[in-house]
């Protein structure tokens, strides 16, 4: 049934958590910062970055504000005084796509699916980084289309980016499936435009929906699955 598979990139295929942390450590070393401050820096950064990305998705701040404030706020909170925030961000984004760790089983699953389906990426990341991530990780050859929110000027979960992806992939909703690790951004976003979804939840103890998620699934005309491992995706696609 599914001809077009739309994947989120970060923490669905490309291991953003581990790769980002390593890129931050390398940036810390580039600027000659005391690495004993890194654990506190990293903890604060994660909180600040998540909050600012939510504001960016809601179009409350610009890309430039996000890029500078996430480090400026973290430096202020941790007492780190030396680096220029914009320069720190620039070096971090240079180190980021050099990291190539993928989520468990991602490569083998993508290789198998690409033999019978058209694969696409829908990502909220920055254009100059996302393409390099895929190229350096050996992923580009498996994907037909790559849709970056910055280029389309519509971040997930807005309907515009999903509708744009469908139109430009020549894909119908009923033959499309969205796979991602964010409930609000990937799953609800696709659900709201009538695309079936697979919710990838490797950090959960079980592949069960929460009560809030169950209510949303029950009120939707689309199909939704929850998985803990990417190989489960093969079973869903083959059986449905």
Best CA proximity match to 74, nearest among 64, 90, 88: 88
pTM of the predicted structure, to 2 decimals: 0.95
Question: Which token pair is 81?
Answer: 């005084």
Encode pLDDT of 21-71 as tens digits. Answer: 999 999 999 999 999 999 999 999 999 999 999 999 999 999 999 999 999
Q: Please state, in angstroms and rounded to a whole number, the distance separating the CA atoms of residues 6 and 146.
A: 9
In DSSP notation, 115-142 reads TTSEEEEEE-S-HHHHHHHHHHTT-GGG
pLDDT band at 240 (very low <50, low <70, confident <90, very high): low
Q: Please state, in angstroms and rounded to a whole number, the distance separating the CA atoms of residues 93 and 98.
A: 9
Q: Please state, in angstroms and rounded to a whole number, the distance separating the CA atoms of residues 90 and 205.
A: 37
In DSSP notation, 177-205 reads EEEES-IIIIIIHHHTTT-EEEEE-TTSS
For tokens 């929460």, the residue is 210
Domains for the chain: give ranges and CATH numbers.
Answer: 4-15+101-239 (3.40.50.1000), 16-98 (1.10.150.240)
pLDDT at 208: 86
Best CA proximity match to 126, nearest among 5, 20, 6: 20
Q: Does the pLDDT at position 211 exceed 90?
A: yes
Q: If you average pLDDT over every residue of the chain, what do you get?
A: 96
């Amino acid at each position: 049934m599914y001809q077009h598979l739309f994947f989120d990139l970060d923490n669905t295929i490309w291991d953003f958590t581990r790769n980002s942390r390593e890129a931050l450590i390398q940036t810390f070393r580039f600027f000659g910062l005391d690495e004993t401050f890194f654990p506190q820096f990293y903890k604060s950064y994660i909180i600040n970055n998540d909050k600012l990305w939510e504001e960016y998705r809601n179009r409350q701040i610009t890309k430039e504000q996000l890029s500078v404030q996430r480090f400026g706020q973290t430096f202020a909170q941790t007492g780190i005084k030396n680096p220029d925030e914009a320069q720190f961000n620039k070096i971090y984004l240079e180190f980021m796509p050099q990291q190539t760790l993928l989520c468990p089983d991602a490569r083998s699953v993508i290789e198998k699916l690409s033999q019978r389906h058209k694969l696409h990426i829908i990502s909220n990341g920055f254009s100059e980084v996302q393409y390099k991530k895929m190229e350096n990780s050996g992923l580009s050859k498996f994907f037909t289309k790559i849709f970056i929110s910055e280029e389309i000027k519509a971040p997930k979960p807005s309907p515009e980016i999903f509708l744009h992806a469908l139109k430009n992939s020549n894909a119908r909703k009923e033959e499309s499936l969205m796979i991602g690790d964010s409930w609000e951004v990937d799953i609800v976003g696709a659900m709201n435009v009538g695309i079936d979804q697979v919710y990838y939840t490797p950090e959960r103890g079980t592949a069960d929906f929460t009560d809030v998620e169950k209510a949303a699934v029950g009120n939707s005309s689309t199909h939704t699955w929850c998985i803990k491992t990417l190989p489960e995706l093969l079973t869903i696609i083959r059986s449905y």
